[in-house]
Amino acid sequence: MKVAQVLLEMLKGYEVRHVFGLPGETTLPWYDTWRDFGGIEHVLTRDERSSAFMADAYAKVACRPGICESPSVGSTHIVPGIAESFKGANPVIAFTSDIPLHMESRNMLTGLNQAALFAGITKATFTLTHPDEVAHIVRRAFRIATTGKPGPVHVRVPMDLLGKDVESPNLAVQADFAFSPGHRPIAALGAIDKALAALEKAKSPVIVCGQGVLSSQAWAPLEALAERYGAPVGTTINGKGSFDETHPLSLGVIGARGGTRFSNGRILSADCIFFIGCSTDSAGTDGWKIPVPGSGQVLLHLDVSGEELGNNYPEALPLLGDARATLEVMLDRGRSIDGDTAACRAEENRIGREAFMASLAPCLAHEGAPVHPMRFVGELQKALPENALVVADPGISAVYASAFLKLKGAGRKWICNFAVGALGYGMPAGIGASYAHDGPVVVLTGDGSFGFTAGELETLKRSGRDVKVVLFNNECFGWIRATSRFSGGGGRFATDFSATDYPAVARGFGLPACRVENSATLGPVLKDIFSTRGPFFMEMPVLPEDEQVPPVPEWAEEAARLGMDCPY
């Protein structure tokens, strides 16, 4: 058995069904074997960067490692996606082929030190040096990717090794690590009891959920715990979906990306804050101002990663463990507070949230052209099927929907990439996610992001995935323009684009496409888009962020000073 076949047999043993990537000379020996190997679909992408983004999103939805592969010359291209997986704690295994190792010092074309390239953005990087170690390295890669804090693993395969015989294949598979989490450690019981005592004593508790709640599939015990203590639940933008956003206890998204004066205000006024699966990064805390370190609030922090516990709030009580497993133990060991008290807290939160949303009615009902992004969110709310998955690029694509699109039911219903936040994530991520999601996928992207990944429209056409792409066109890098303006800069240096007929571009790739320029036609178009299965492309002209200010805390005050509306 050759090395190339052992690789495929091991992936098949770990129930891998899709691998995202594209060909190159150094990978051809693997492809030659793959051609006649059944059970693993190779999803051809147009850019290695896209293949890594696809694997990242697939991993989020499937709760198993996403697999991407690239030739040696493309190894540098997958870096943005692998970096996102690393900072976002998503299990991805990236295979890169390479030139024969002994040729690197002779400057053979496409060769480079891949191990050094990936060392800082993976949990581990391996270089295969002997045929008999292939299965061992694959097993190790799956264990590392799915245990502890999940993350990416890189495996480098020299092309001359792929065709060599393996004397001792040892195709044993460790089934525990085909999924993520691979194992579920529980926080120390003493720490759990202290956390429960704090929650029982609190007069105004809140819970803040990061993406770790979704990765752990912890939404059921989370809801039970929140209802027991009447604790409103907010999520970071990456954690959106951890809690039913139509539930009376939902705060919605908090922080600098998707937070509102209502949700952020409740965090600031709480006497006890329970962080779950949350890295307390700058986006989720508005630059560590929500909450303010040393505020005197009681802080609890549950995370599977010891390096994140109390990282930015050292006063927090640390609970080191898997979110779902630990919350289940907390439910078993904890005592309920007075039922009327819990119910009153939920009703108070519901009334406050509805009053806040009522104050935004003019934006939600905005008529005319161009379409107001909040009007779009309102119409999308009406048209969106319950089994839809929303994938958003950074910027205007994500911030309105994260704040105002209320997802019914808990679970992985939303994907964005606010761990690193590279543009161009949305479309490839939507395609990758569609291979693990049974329902339509809606990609919200901007013209800035679209410029990075336009070629994947061909992938979408060829694959026929049920992915609907909505492009917000403000003819610029709007977020950068607004940041410059509201920070005192000039605002328009190196940001603006020329006019482009984006529906014509999509049609050129063979996709059905349209442009919606007025709010009056938006609802019917969205309804029609979701009435049929398959890809669709819709462009929507909008104002740039420095002219129509989105709900961003750091911009809201300056917008008010300038007499501009800001739905924060």
The answer to whether residue 490 scores a pLDDT higher than 80 is no
pLDDT at position 562 over 90:
no
Cα separation, 150 vs 180, in Å, equals 8
Do 158 and 71 form a contact (C-beta atoms < 8 A)?
Answer: no
Task: Determine the 3-state secondary structure of 128 from DSSP.
Answer: coil
Token pair recorded at residue 72: 């040696």
How far is residue 250's CA from residue 234's CA, in Å, rounded to a whole number?
6
Cross-strand pairs, 476: 496
CA-wise closest residue to 562 among 552, 549, 543, 544: 549
pLDDT tens-place string over residues 466-484 = 999 999 999 999 999 999 9
pLDDT, tens digit, for every residue of 499-523? 999 999 999 999 999 999 999 999 9
User: 110 burial class (0-12, 13-18, 19+ CB within 10 angstroms)?
Assistant: middle
Instruction: Please state whether the predicted TM-score (pTM) of the whole model is above 0.95.
Output: yes
**Dihedral through CA 143, CA 144, CA 146, CA 152, nearest 10?**
-140
**Joined tokens for residue 218:** 């912890």
Sheet (strand 536-541) strand order: 414-415, 389-392, 441-446, 467-473, 536-541, 513-515
pLDDT(105) > 90: no
Does pLDDT of 491 surpass 80?
Answer: no
* Lowest-pLDDT choice from 117-126, 139-148, 266-275, 366-375: 366-375
**Token pair listed for 303:** 């995370």
State pLDDT tens for residues 449-464. Answer: 999 999 999 999 999 9
Confidence at residue 364, expressed as pLDDT on a 0 to 100 scale: 83
Question: Within 13 Å, how many C-alpha atoms sit on residue 316's CB side?
Answer: 27
Rg (CA), the chain: 24
Percentage with pLDDT > 70 across the chain: 100
**Which parts of 142-249 are beta strand (E)?**
153-158, 205-209, 233-235
State percent of the chain over pLDDT 90: 93
Per the prediction, the chain carries an average pLDDT of 96
pLDDT band, very low/low/confident/very high, at 106 (cuts 50, 70, 90): confident
The closest alpha carbon to 242, from 264, 217, 266, 261, belongs to: 217
Range 3-177: architecture per CATH: 3-Layer(aba) Sandwich (3.40)
Q: What is the DSSP-derived secondary structure letter of residue 165?
A: B
pLDDT tens readout for residues 45-90: 999 999 999 999 999 999 999 999 999 999 999 999 999 999 999 9
How far is 151 from 173, CA to CA, in rounded Å? 20
Are 189-354 and 361-561 in the same CATH fold?
Answer: yes
- Going from N- to C-terminal start, the domains of the chain cover 3-177, 189-354, 361-561
CATH number of 361-561: 3.40.50.970
Do you find a cis peptide bond into 567, omega within 30 degrees of 0? no
Alpha helices for 35-133 (secondary structure H): 48-62, 79-88, 114-118
CATH architecture of 189-354: 3-Layer(aba) Sandwich (3.40)
pLDDT digits 0-9 by tens, 255-302: 999 999 999 999 999 999 999 999 999 999 999 999 999 999 999 999
Q: Which two tokens stand for residue 438?
A: 């049974």
Q: Give residue 335's pLDDT band: very low, low, confident or very high (50, 70, 90).
A: very high
Q: Give mean pLDDT, residues 246-256.
A: 98
Q: What is the pLDDT of residues 179-211, one digit of tens each?
A: 999 999 999 999 999 999 999 999 999 999 999
Tokens 């060991």 identify what position?
A: 333
